[in-house]
Structure 1
Amino acid sequence: MTPLLSVENLSIGFGRGDAVVRDVSFEVMPGQTLALVGESGSGKTVTCRAVLRILPKAAQIRTGRITLNGQDGPLTLNQLGERQLRAIRGNRISMIFQEPMRSLSPLHRIGNQVSEVLWLHRGASEREARKTVLEQFERVGFPDPERAYNSYPFEMSGGMRQRAMIAMAMVAKPDLLIADEPTTALDVTTQAQVLGLIKELQRETGMALILVTHDLGVVANMAEQVVVMHKGRVMESGSAVAMLKDPAHPYTRQLFDAAPEIPDTQAVGLPMPQDDLILEMKDVSKTYTMRSGRGWQPHKQIYACRGVDFRLARGKTLAIVGESGSGKTTAARIALGAEPPDPGGQVLFRAAPGDAPLTVHDMTRAQRTAFQRQAQMVFQDPYSSLSPRMRIQDAMTEPLEIHRIGTRAEQRDKATEALERVGLNADMLKRYPHAFSGGQRQRLSVARALMLDPAMIVCDEPTSALDVSVQDQILTLLEELQEGLKLSYLFISHDLAVVARIADEVAVMRQGLVVEQAPPETLFHNPQHPYTKALIAAQPEPDIDRPINLKLVALGAGAPDTWAEAFRFTDSVIPSLVEMEPGHKVRCHA
């Protein structure tokens, strides 16, 4: 059988430097899924971009041949003219990029950007394109396709923007889909549904897939063939079944060892202590008003958080888990004072044991300055949170300058100490953020958060964009810092395996509500709520014999009115959180 795409002895270099991709070869058959696996910087993305010739100007394809076979015969992609390539990009070969915010135009509505593919390559009218795009939006999991169609990228969460990118790549039903970490920014239930959707489209259209990922659980659920890359070279390649059951290369085994998993051992977790609370959120709600955009239509109320009650003990970790748009980040922003809650909600903070509680949203200027020193945040996207125009030294010392702490020499010494604490070197202070890998930038974000010696850190998806080995390093770092500095973490994540490792208590959120809350040992081995069960079922495992149960995922991740009677809720009828056992609360009709 003739392969759809063949890559032979591909080598890519930048400028006059050594090749960053060396002698890479692989084939993709029609309808087949090939997984490219490896750490950040291994050459996976550069290899895929070479297929579509969308490399940076400084990059050159030095050797090799990239051939696309079809009804018109073989086409050597690295020798085609630009006009011929434009007819292939987005039509016969589509690509899903890892960073949706940098791939979508901030000036155009999401619907128009996705429709453009159909206008250019299918000659569809605006009405036809709109209908097709809305259908695709529904298939990739948008709860309100019309709202998504008329939204701008900055009005959507990271997970929602990634869904839009997936819809854009798949709406033209290409022969080959190149997916560069397509589910990194998605929660596990949406990830499972999107992976199921891609498989369904493959069955319908015979589409081939090149899947770039660091998640071995995704590989086990999707791939027939696997290519493992490290430092620009292929370390191991072959069938997914053989490789997942018995990896031969030491590097492949290292990747397996670093992958986090939900532990199988059953245990009963102890509730988080309540005697020394650093943060307390009481009946916190947040409502936004979304303008309709049309004068005759009423404005829409968006309930980001509803009646949230959180208690974080000093030196402990409270993890908030849920799908994109469930209210996790909004709750964290309210906890930090960046967003005011609706009237009636209250956030209390105690900087030290025995201190009188400080009402976060009713502080004087002096109190707010002191609070900002005690509570810091590590953001989801380390590249966006570090200014590309500032050297690392300036980015690190900026908080000290704002709070007027220390001399220039003392600030520099503090920055050196913080870098060493997170496993980086002092000679990196003179570099700019673009000179670091994703994992190093995340370490820099953690180091910057430590500059003011905070008591509490909010970690917003700190490991979601990292490959498994770097993720393992960051989690180990956070654990060591917590033990050494007695830090308290409010940890936001959609990765249950990560949460199982780091959390002392887990709160599961859906549509702004906490639907279940318990210690991880209790929650993962005795889940009660259908949405919690869906989250656990959707967690991909690096085991070819344990595929994701899409039916169970769809049941729990569906609309609340499809759940069992005891768990259903509407905007007007919301059941209470009921304590089923000590420390284990479930939102249900008692």
Structure 2
Amino acid sequence: MTPLLSVENLSIGFGDAEPVVQNVNFEVAPGETLALVGESGSGKTVTCRAVLRILPRIARIATGRITLNGGEAPLTLTELSERKMRDIRGDRVSMIFQEPMRSLSPLHKIGNQVSEVLWLHRGMSEKEAKREVLQTFDRVGFPDPERAYGSYPFELSGGMRQRAMIAMAMVSKPDLLIADEPTTALDVTTQAQVLGLIKELQQEIGMALILVTHDLGVVANMAEKVVVMHKGRVMESGSAADVLRAPAHPYTQQLFDAAPAIPDRAAVGLPMPGDDLILEMKNVSKTYTMRAGSAWKPEVKIHACRGVDLKLARGKTLAIVGESGSGKTTAARIALGAELPDPGGEVLFRPSGDEQQIAVHQMTRAARTAFQREAQMVFQDPYSSLSPRMRVLDAMTEPLEIHKIGSTSEQRDKAAEMLQRVGLNSDMLKRFPHAFSGGQRQRLSIARAMMLDPSLLVCDEPTSALDVSVQEQILTLLEEIQERLNLSYLFISHDLAVVARIADEVAVMRQGLVVEQAPPETLFYNPQHPYTKALIAAQPEPDIDRPIDLKLVAQGAGSPDNWSEAFRFSDTVIPSLIELEPGHKVRRHV
């Protein structure tokens, strides 16, 4: 069979420096999935951008040839004019980018941005394009496609923005889809459904797929071919079955060793004791009022959290797990005092075992300043959590300056000490954030959060944007810091393998409600709620013989109306969170 795309001896450099991608070769046939696997900096994304000719101006294709077949005649993409390339981009070849906030215009509504592809390449009317876009929005998992169509990017969560990017790339049904980490920002249930959707489209229209990823579980579920890259070179390539069952290169084996997985029962931690609580949330709810789509429609009330009751013991880790929009981050912001709960909710914080509890939801300005020294946050995106205009030293010492702690030299010494604690060199204080990799930036974010010697860290998806090997380093770092300093973690995540490793207790949230809560060894091996079962079933494993059960995922992650009668809930009828056994709570009708 003639390949749809062939890449031959491709080398790419920047300026006069040595090529960063050297002698890359691969082919992908119609309807076939090729996975490009490797860590950040391995050259995967640069290789894919060369296919669409969207490299930075300083970049140059030193050698090689990229050929697209399937039309009236083969097209050599490396030789086409820019005008002809515009006809190919978004039509015959589409790309899903990793960072949706940078790829979507903040000034235009999501629906218009996705419809643009159909206006330009299909000549559809606005009405026809809207109908097609709404159908695609429904297929990629938008709970309310009409609302998403009229929303701006900043009104959607990171996961929802990524779904919009996926819809934009697939709405034109291209011959070749290049997906650059398309599911990194998605929760595991949505990831499973999106991967299933891409497979369906491939079967329907014979679409080829180049999947850029570092997740070997995704590779095992999607790919027929695998190309493993490291530092711009191909380390290993072949069929997915051969590479995954018997990796020949040490680098491929290293990726396998770093891949997170839900461990055996014996490897999971003990239940979290409840005697010395550092944080307690009682009956916490949060309701937002959203503008309607038009002036004559009533405002829409969004219940982000409903009746959340959580307890975090000192020196332990409580993980909150759920899909995008489940209320995880809202609960974390309320715990930090960044949002106030609805009347009737309480957030209580005890700095140390012999001090009085502080009502976080009723703090004065002075009390809030003191509380901020005790509770800090590590954000999801290491690229946007540090100011690009501030040197590392200035970013690190800023919290000390705000709280008027120490002299200039003492602040500098403290910053150097914290960098060493997170495995970085104090010589890096003079650099700007752009000089660091994603893993190093996340280490910087952790070091900055540690500058005030807090007793509580709220970690909001701290590893979701990182490669598996870097993720392993960050989790090890968090564990070491917790053991050394007796820190308490409120850990927000959608990755159950990460949660199984680090958590002492897990609360599963869906549509603002805690639907199940238990220690990991109970939750992962005796799940009761259909949504919990879907989360576990959706976790991809790097085993080609154990594919994701999409039916189980779709049932548990779908509408509550599809659940058995005991677990169903609605806006007006919400079952209680009952204790099935000591420490194991499930939201169900008695």
Q: Which residue of 1 aligns with 2:299?
A: 299
Q: Which residue of 2 aligns with 1:272?
A: 272
Residues in 2 aligned to 1:92 and 1:391: alpha-carbon distance in whole angstroms: 43
Contact map agreement 2:180 2:212 (CA 8 A) in 1? yes
Residues in 2 aligned to 1:501 and 1:266: alpha-carbon distance in whole angstroms: 12
Name the SS of the counterpart of 1:343 in structure 2: coil
Structure 1 counterpart of 2:548, one-letter code? I
Q: Which residue of 2 aligns with 1:574?
A: 574
**What's the CA shift for 1:265?**
3.4
Q: Which residue of 2 aligns with 1:511?
A: 511
Q: Which residue of 1 aligns with 2:318?
A: 318
Residues in 1 aligned to 2:185 and 2:195: alpha-carbon distance in whole angstroms: 13
Q: Which residue of 2 aligns with 1:165?
A: 165
Residues in 2 aligned to 1:389 and 1:81: alpha-carbon distance in whole angstroms: 37
Q: Which residue of 2 aligns with 1:203?
A: 203
Residues in 2 aligned to 1:352 and 1:535: alpha-carbon distance in whole angstroms: 35
Q: Which residue of 2 aligns with 1:350?
A: 350
Q: Which residue of 2 aligns with 1:61?
A: 61
Contact map agreement 1:268 1:522 (CA 8 A) in 2? no
Q: Which residue of 1 aligns with 2:229?
A: 229
Residues in 1 aligned to 2:6 and 2:267: alpha-carbon distance in whole angstroms: 50
Q: Which residue of 1 aligns with 2:553?
A: 553
What percentage of aligned pairs have identical amino acids? Answer: 82
User: Residues 370-409 of structure 1: matches in 2 within 5 Å?
Assistant: 370-409=370-409
Residues in 1 aligned to 2:268 and 2:178: alpha-carbon distance in whole angstroms: 43
Residues in 2 aligned to 1:410 and 1:548: alpha-carbon distance in whole angstroms: 53
Residues in 2 aligned to 1:268 and 1:49: alpha-carbon distance in whole angstroms: 41
Name the SS of the counterpart of 1:555 in structure 2: helix
Cα deviation code 1:122-145 (max 9, x no counterpart)? 000000000000000000000000
Residues in 2 aligned to 1:379 and 1:516: alpha-carbon distance in whole angstroms: 25
Residues in 1 aligned to 2:539 and 2:359: alpha-carbon distance in whole angstroms: 38
Cα deviation code 1:331-379 (max 9, x no counterpart)? 0000000011100001000111121100012112221111001100000
User: Residues 78-89 of structure 1: matches in 2 within 5 Å?
Assistant: 78-89=78-89
Residues in 2 aligned to 1:174 and 1:375: alpha-carbon distance in whole angstroms: 48
Structure 1 counterpart of 2:575, one-letter code? P
Residues in 2 aligned to 1:60 and 1:393: alpha-carbon distance in whole angstroms: 35
Compared with structure 1, are the counterparts of its residues 185 and 268 closer, same or farther at alpha carbon in structure 2 (3 Å cutoff)?
closer
Residues in 2 aligned to 1:588 and 1:141: alpha-carbon distance in whole angstroms: 25
Residues in 2 aligned to 1:516 and 1:270: alpha-carbon distance in whole angstroms: 17
Name the SS of the counterpart of 1:238 in structure 2: strand
Q: Which runs of 5+ in 2 are unaligned?
A: none
Residues in 2 aligned to 1:80 and 1:436: alpha-carbon distance in whole angstroms: 35
Residues in 2 aligned to 1:324 and 1:265: alpha-carbon distance in whole angstroms: 28
**What's the CA shift for 1:266?**
6.4
Q: Which residue of 2 aligns with 1:215?
A: 215
Compared with structure 1, are the counterparts of its residues 420 and 269 closer, same or farther at alpha carbon in structure 2 (3 Å cutoff)?
closer
**What's the CA shift for 1:268?**
8.9
1:538 corresponds to 2:538: yes
Residues in 2 aligned to 1:18 and 1:585: alpha-carbon distance in whole angstroms: 58
Q: Which runs of 5+ in 1 are unaligned?
A: none
Cα deviation code 1:475-511 (max 9, x no counterpart)? 0000000000111000000000000000000000000
Name the SS of the counterpart of 1:565 in structure 2: coil
Name the SS of the counterpart of 2:275 in structure 1: coil
Structure 1 counterpart of 2:303, one-letter code? Y
Which runs of at least 4 in structure 1 moved beyond 6 Å after TM superposition?
A: 266-269
1:589 corresponds to 2:589: yes
Name the SS of the counterpart of 1:113 in structure 2: helix
Contact map agreement 2:268 2:501 (CA 8 A) in 1? no
Structure 2 counterpart of 1:30, one-letter code? P
1:127 corresponds to 2:127: yes
Residues in 2 aligned to 1:383 and 1:269: alpha-carbon distance in whole angstroms: 32
**What's the CA shift for 1:566?**
0.2
Contact map agreement 1:33 1:224 (CA 8 A) in 2? yes
Name the SS of the counterpart of 2:51 in structure 1: helix
Residues in 1 aligned to 2:414 and 2:270: alpha-carbon distance in whole angstroms: 37
Q: Which residue of 1 aligns with 2:520?
A: 520
TM-score w.r.t. length of structure 2 = 0.99
TM-score w.r.t. length of structure 1 = 0.99
Name the SS of the counterpart of 2:65 in structure 1: strand
Q: Which residue of 2 aligns with 1:28?
A: 28
Q: Which residue of 1 aligns with 2:14?
A: 14
Q: Which residue of 2 aligns with 1:92?
A: 92
Structure 2 counterpart of 1:229, one-letter code? M
**What's the CA shift for 1:74?**
1.1
Root-mean-square deviation (Å)? 0.9
**What's the CA shift for 1:19?**
1.2
Residues in 1 aligned to 2:328 and 2:365: alpha-carbon distance in whole angstroms: 27
Contact map agreement 1:36 1:229 (CA 8 A) in 2? yes
**What's the CA shift for 1:79?**
1.1
**What's the CA shift for 1:17?**
1.6
Structure 2 counterpart of 1:395, one-letter code? A
Q: Which residue of 2 aligns with 1:497?
A: 497
Q: Which residue of 1 aligns with 2:257?
A: 257
1:415 corresponds to 2:422: no
Cα deviation code 1:245-269 (max 9, x no counterpart)? 0000000000000001012336897
Contact map agreement 1:267 1:522 (CA 8 A) in 2? no
Q: Which residue of 1 aligns with 2:438?
A: 438
Cα deviation code 1:100-132 (max 9, x no counterpart)? 001000010000000000000000000000000
Residues in 1 aligned to 2:293 and 2:175: alpha-carbon distance in whole angstroms: 37
- Per mean C-alpha deviation after superposition, the further-off stretch among 242-251 and 11-20 is 11-20
1:113 corresponds to 2:113: yes
Structure 2 counterpart of 1:44, one-letter code? K
Name the SS of the counterpart of 1:570 in structure 2: coil
Contact map agreement 2:268 2:500 (CA 8 A) in 1? no
Q: Which residue of 2 aligns with 1:242?
A: 242
Residues in 2 aligned to 1:304 and 1:25: alpha-carbon distance in whole angstroms: 48
Contact map agreement 2:281 2:335 (CA 8 A) in 1? yes
Contact map agreement 1:266 1:525 (CA 8 A) in 2? no
Contact map agreement 1:279 1:313 (CA 8 A) in 2? yes
Q: Which residue of 2 aligns with 1:182?
A: 182
Residues in 1 aligned to 2:231 and 2:480: alpha-carbon distance in whole angstroms: 29
Name the SS of the counterpart of 1:282 in structure 2: strand
- Per mean C-alpha deviation after superposition, the further-off stretch among 227-236 and 267-276 is 267-276
Structure 1 counterpart of 2:285, one-letter code? S
Residues in 1 aligned to 2:268 and 2:188: alpha-carbon distance in whole angstroms: 24
Structure 1 counterpart of 2:77, one-letter code? L
Contact map agreement 1:269 1:522 (CA 8 A) in 2? no
**What's the CA shift for 1:298?**
1.1
Name the SS of the counterpart of 1:236 in structure 2: strand
Structure 2 counterpart of 1:248, one-letter code? A
1:340 corresponds to 2:344: no
Cα deviation code 1:41-69 (max 9, x no counterpart)? 11111110111011111111111111111
Structure 2 counterpart of 1:468, one-letter code? V
Name the SS of the counterpart of 2:265 in structure 1: coil
Cα deviation code 1:393-446 (max 9, x no counterpart)? 111111111111111111111111111111111111111111111111111111
Residues in 2 aligned to 1:268 and 1:561: alpha-carbon distance in whole angstroms: 33
Residues in 1 aligned to 2:167 and 2:115: alpha-carbon distance in whole angstroms: 10
Structure 2 counterpart of 1:199, one-letter code? K
Residues in 1 aligned to 2:351 and 2:63: alpha-carbon distance in whole angstroms: 60
Q: Which residue of 1 aligns with 2:480?
A: 480
**What's the CA shift for 1:271?**
3.3
Structure 1 counterpart of 2:374, one-letter code? Q
1:103 corresponds to 2:88: no
